[in-house]
Chain A
Amino acid sequence: GEDVEQSLFLSVREGDSSVINCTYTDSSSTYLYWYKQEPGAGLQLLTYIFSNMDMKQDQRLTVLLNKKDKHLSLRIADTQTGDSAIYFCAESIIAGNNRKLIWGLGTSLAVNP
Chain B
Amino acid sequence: GAVVSQHPSWVICKSGTSVKIECRSLDFQATTMFWYRQFPKQSLMLMATSNEGSKATYEQGVEKDKFLINHASLTLSTLTVTSAHPEDSSFYICSARDGAPSQETQYFGPGTRLLVL
Contacts and interface: CB of A to CB of B under 8 A. Distances in A.
Interface residues of B, number: 21
A13 interface: no
Contacts of A10: none
B32 A98 contact: yes
Interface stretch (A20-28, A43-51, A53-61, A74-82): A43-51
B43 A105 contact: yes
Contacts of A31: 104-105
Max chain A Cβ within 10 angstroms of own Cβ: one of B51, B57, B106: B106
B116 interface: no
A85 interface: no
Contacts of B107: 45
Nearest to B44: A103
B34 interface: yes
Contacts of A96: 57
A103 to B, nearest CB: 5
A95 B44 CA distance: 17
Given A100-B34, A100-B49, A106-B43, A42 B104 contact: no
Given A42-B108, A101-B46, 5 more contacts: A45-B105, A88-B43, A92-B104, A98-B32, A98-B51
Interface of B: 6, 32, 34, 42-44, 46, 49, 51, 57, 93, 95, 104-111, 113
5 contacts: A88-B44, A95-B49, A96-B57, A101-B106, A103-B44
